[in-house]
Amino acid sequence: MTDAPAPLRFGLLGAGRIAAKLAAAMSRTAGVTAAAIGSRDPARAAAFAARHGVPVAGSYEEVVASPDVDVVYLALPPHLHLEWGRRAAEAGKAVLCEKPLAPTAADAEALAAACRAAGVALIDGTQWTRSPRADAFWSALGGGELGELTRVTAAFSFHADGWEADEHRLDPTRGGGVLLDLGWYCVHAALWAFDADPVHVACSLTRETHAAGAVDVAASGLLTFPGGRTAGFDVSYRTAWRNWIEFAGPAGSLVCDDFTRPRDPAKVRHFRHDRRGDASRVELPGFDPQAEFLTRVAAAIRAGGDEEGLKLALRTQSVLDRLREAAG
């Protein structure tokens, strides 16, 4: 019998919303631990540490330099991912970087290059593709249940009210905008499913002017893949909650209305429509999405990285650039 390895120690940067969720998930995930929290504000770091039982609270610099940290988790707005990811890599830490990797593909490539040069893993924060549900979808797609995949359609939206004036998602200078934020999931899913890059993209953006300038709050995109296969998506901060995806081929389709995270993790389900449209419900065993994600991230980091996942993330970032350019 071999001893279990010591838990992988995560240093979190930014005491915000997703950091709080993942810190809570780390406490219920074997093999990982939240070892340090970094904040711009020492009081915020201390409060976060107390709330989540994190032993060390400090500045970003202190967390990155800490000998008690193996992995730096960038829970920061996108415009800070390159700077802090590079610093973490130079300090010899693996990097778990929230999606999007960066505001632009050039910055995402620079982050990947910094991690490669330092010999550390870079993993993107897309959770759902690292889950038993994604495994089940992958088997269905690869097993020919739908015939050869011809179409992916995705929608991700929520009606954003109650955001503070300083919300980074409404700030183009901090990597804000719904195309990068929610469009990430739709484009990533389409590239994942087709395992190809689009030959053509089209995009329409709806913009609003906020304190820091014009920012996209709704986006619709069309990706055309080799062989005439297509993906379409719409994302919005101005429409009610929708979190749909459909994978379709000549023999039927697979439809899931909570694709990035099961609404009830104890009752994970999606729908299979046959070629005539008759639907059946498919139930999968329940799972803890964030714990599952962290378990897989830890395994990948221990194995030296997740090259396929990183390539997919970089391709996603490049297609998001193309979509923004196409929208004009």
Give me the active site residues, please.
Answer: 99
Which one of residues 70, 98, 292, 306 is an interface residue with ligand NAP (CB under 6 A)? 98
Going across the sheet that includes 213-224, the strands are 200-210, 213-224, 230-236, 151-159, 238-249, 252-256, 268-274, 279-284
Q: Is 127 among the residues that bind ligand NAP (CB under 6 A)?
A: yes
**Nearest distance from C-beta of residue 17 to ligand NAP, angstroms:** 4
Assess 133 for contact with ligand NAP (CB under 6 A).
Answer: no
Residue 140 C-beta: closest distance to ligand NAP, Å: 23
Which helix (H) or strand (E) segment holds residue 247: the answer is strand 238-249
Q: What are the backbone dihedrals phi and psi of residue 24, each rounded to the nearest 5 degrees, phi first?
A: -65, -40
Whichever of 70 and 167 has its CB closer to ligand NAP, that residue is 167
Q: Which of residues 243 and 253 has its CB atom nearest to ligand NAP in the complex?
A: 243
Check binding of 29 to ligand NAP (CB under 6 A).
no
Report 166-195 residues binding ligand NAP (CB under 6 A).
168, 174, 181
Cα(170)–Cα(159) distance, integer angstroms: 13
Task: Indicate whether 87 belongs to the interface with ligand NAP (CB under 6 A).
Answer: no
Strands 32-38 and 56-58: parallel
The binder of ligand NAP chosen from 58, 78, 221, 262 (CB under 6 A): 78
* By CB under 6 A, residue 316 contacts ligand NAP: no
Return the amino acid letter for 319: V
Per CB under 6 A, which region of 16-24, 142-150, 201-209, 273-281 contacts ligand NAP? 16-24
Specify the DSSP element, H or E, that contains 157. Answer: strand 151-159
Q: Which of 285, 264, 313 is nearest to 129 (CA)?
A: 313
Least Cβ distance, residue 255 to ligand NAP (angstroms): 22
The answer to whether 80 touches 295, Cβ cutoff 8 Å, is: no
Q: Which of 2, 4, 5, 17 binds ligand NAP (CB under 6 A)?
A: 17
Specify the stretch interacting with ligand NAP by CB under 6 A; choose among 39-47, 136-144, 147-155, 318-326: 39-47
Dig out the tokens for 52 from the structure: 């989540």
Q: If we measure between CA atoms, which residue out of 222, 243, 228 comes closest to residue 148?
A: 228
**What is the rounded distance in angstroms from the CA atom of residue 60 to the CA atom of residue 299?**
25
Residues 252, 196 contacting (CB under 8 angstroms): no
Our finding on whether 77 is near ligand NAP (CB under 6 A) is yes
Q: Does 40 bind ligand NAP (CB under 6 A)?
A: yes
CB proximity list for 328: less than 8 A, separation 6 or greater? none
Closest CA to 151 of 244, 253, 256, 242: 253
Closer to ligand NAP by Cβ: residue 104 or 127 = 127
- Of 14, 58, 85, 183, the residue at the interface with ligand NAP (CB under 6 A) is 14
3-state secondary structure of 313: helix
Q: Which of 28, 30, 41, 304 binds ligand NAP (CB under 6 A)?
A: 41
What are the Cα distances from residue 47, in Å, to 44, 71, 144, 196, 277? Answer: 5, 22, 51, 45, 52
Give the number of residues in contact with ligand NAP, rule: CB under 6 A. Answer: 21
Q: Read off the amino acid at residue 299.
A: A
Q: Which residue is nearest to ligand NAP (CB)?
A: 16
Region from 15-23, 192-200, 202-210, 239-247 binding ligand NAP, contact rule CB under 6 A: 15-23
Taking CB under 6 A as the rule, does residue 75 contact ligand NAP?
Answer: yes
Contact residues for ligand NAP (CB under 6 A)? 14-18, 39-41, 44, 75-78, 80, 98-99, 125, 127, 168, 174, 181
